[in-house]
Structure 1
Amino acid sequence: MNPHDPATPSSPTARLLLLETRVLPEMAGLILRSRALREELPRGDGHAVLIVPGFGAGDGATRPLRTFLGSLGYTAYGWDQGVNLGMRPPIKNALNLRLHKLYERHGPVSLIGWSLGGVFVREMARHTPPYVRRVFTLGSPINVRPDANNLMPLFRLINAGRPVNLDLEGFRRRITPPPVPCTAIYTRTDGIVAWPCCREPEAPNTDNVEVRGSHLGLPYNVETIRAIAARLAQPAG
């Protein structure tokens, strides 16, 4: 698809953006259903899972997901880089180093990226596929066009004084999934990123899972957690 074609997705509507307040009941729902979920879902094999937060979020936002995956038997890690304000060379180097260390300690690592974090983990898997067991993206802008979202104004504000280069050619090259199993989890009522941009291209190593809920609530969404747990429990490869 051509990112400049008016038929391609635009940013989610103001109504959908307002519906992002659903994150609060989604978080409460996870707390209330955690015990039943733990009894329902398959146990993990202890392999490492690295979770990268979305733009404007840090490890605190992904702690509930890490805690839950830990209760299933996985060894879950945060990205340990503070608040995600976009990719910069020091962040890229730190993430690559963290992945290498986790691989040395645990073997191949599963990667989960929420929103912009999903863009990061896909590229980590693309550059070092032997270190990565599988990739999950949660509402991540990985397809169609990079600017069909409601975060661009905030991104430009935080990066004031710096040119924001969308690098459309680079984005088009990155649409191709990395050579590991990739699962994209998305919601059609996403108020942050246009949902068609959150789906993986069809390929033998990709699948797309639609859930009901908000963008901000994806790490706490019970359907998201079911989808992640089912795939993490599959044998490597």
Structure 2
Amino acid sequence: MTATAQTLRPPSRTLMFMEGRAIHEFGAFLGALPLLSLAPRGDGHPVLVLPGLVASDASTRALRTFLTSNKGYAVSGWRQGRNYGLREGVQHAMVDLVEELSDTHGRKISLVGWSLGGLYARQLAKMMPERVRQVITLGSPFAGDPRSTNAWRVYEWASGRKSDEVDPRFGGDLAAPPPVPTTAIFSRTDGVCAWQGCMEKSGGQTESIEIESSHCGMGHHPAAVYAVADRLAQKEGQWRPFDRSGWRSLAYPDPHR
């Protein structure tokens, strides 16, 4: 664990209180649908969307419906009810689903994970890079100490595991980037996870995209949805970093400022 990860503090109570804006962000998503329809359209490859802690596929329905109906992807939820952490059988079920989607469509799949779901996505990509096209995380605290979030106690209660417990059989070092193109979407006003722990190191196939969002609304925030669609639309094997030029600079701050 790095010194930075050790010193990160959870978001303030003020930011935690502001998580209520997730409701308004959903309204903004509905209002922005005509504009979001202008986002790039991809090649229809399979996409697996993984929900956050104690959330279910219902929480990602808006994003999945948009990617299916507006962008033509073959999108699947994780099909395991509520996400209570790595309980018995969860890891194997996710591995089986990745294999099923990849085999059914005869193509690599993209993994999109919100919060804890993003941690799963990264680890699955490390275990199965031959089946994964790219990884996109939304507010996922992979680079910080587990206690740099306001949800670590909930995780321990829900999963029955220690928040800092690492299973070496599930992808290894959490902070290490997967060997596939990886995008980390984060917000400095995240009220659940310290934003510094949700950023990816910039590299040849890694990047971070900043938006101004709550944590609980990130999965349907218009800026996040557009960024996800933009990243998914890239041709396989031709990944390039997100382009913030022009009008996008107004919606997407420089993450390294």
RMSD: 1.8
Tell me, which stretches of 5 or more residues in structure 2 are unaligned?
238-257
Match of 2:55 in 1: 57
Q: Give 1:156 deviation, angstroms.
A: 2.9
**For the residues of structure 2 that align with 1:57 and 1:186, how far apart are their CA atoms?**
19
Equivalent residue, structure 2, for 1:25: 24
- Corresponding residue for 1:135? 135
The match for 1:208 is 208
In 2, are the aligned partners of 1:187 and 1:214 still within 8 Å (CA)? yes
- SS of structure 2 residue aligned to 1:219: coil
Aligned to 2:89: 90
Structure 1 stretches (4+) deviating beyond 3 angstroms?
Answer: 167-172
Change (3 A) 1:168 1:123: closer
Letter of the structure 1 residue corresponding to residue 101 of structure 2: L
- Tell me the secondary structure at the aligned position of residue 119 of structure 1: helix
Task: Judge conservation of contact 1:185–1:209 (CA < 8 Å) in 2.
Answer: yes
Q: Which moved more, 1:150-159 or 1:11-20?
A: 150-159
Structure 1 residue runs of 5 or longer lacking an equivalent are: none
For structure 1, which segment, 171-180 or 199-208, has the greater mean C-alpha deviation from structure 2 after superposition?
Answer: 171-180
SS in 1 for 2:99: helix
Q: What TM-score results when the alignment is normalised by the length of structure 1?
A: 0.92
> Normalising by the residue count of structure 2, what TM-score does the alignment of the two structures yield?
0.85
CA offsets per residue over residues 115-170 of structure 1, 9 Å max, x none? 000000100000000100100000001103222000112223335xx452513796
Q: Which residue of 2 aligns with 1:102?
A: 101
The structural deviation recorded for 1:202 is: 2.6
Identity of paired residues, percent? Answer: 38
How many correspondences in the alignment?
232
Deviation (angstroms), 1:2: 2.3
For residues 169-221 of structure 1, give each alpha carbon's deviation from its aligned partner in whole angstroms, at most 9, with x where no partner exists.
Answer: 96982211010000000000000000000011232110000001100111111
Q: Secondary structure at the match of 2:235?
A: coil
Structure in which a larger fraction of residues adopt helix: 1
CA deviation vs aligned residue, 1:37-88 (integer Å, no higher than 9, x gap): 11x1111211011000000100000000000001211111100000000012
Q: 1:165 to 1:150 in 2, by over 3 A?
A: closer
Indicate if the aligned counterparts of 1:186 and 1:209 stay in contact, CA closer than 8 A.
Answer: yes
The answer as to whether partners of 1:136 and 1:184 remain within 8 angstroms in 2 is yes
Q: Relative to structure 1, is the Cα distance of residues 105 and 168 closer, same or farther in structure 2, using a 3 angstrom cutoff?
A: closer
Within 5 Å, give how 1:1-237 maps onto structure 2.
1-2=2-3, 5=6, 8-38=7-37, 40-70=38-68, 71-106=70-105, 107-159=107-159, 162=160, 164=162, 166-167=164-165, 173-237=173-237
CA deviation map 1:10-63 (0-9, x unaligned): 11110000000010010011111112311x111121101100000010000000
CA distance, structure 2, for counterparts of residue 209 and residue 164 of structure 1: 30
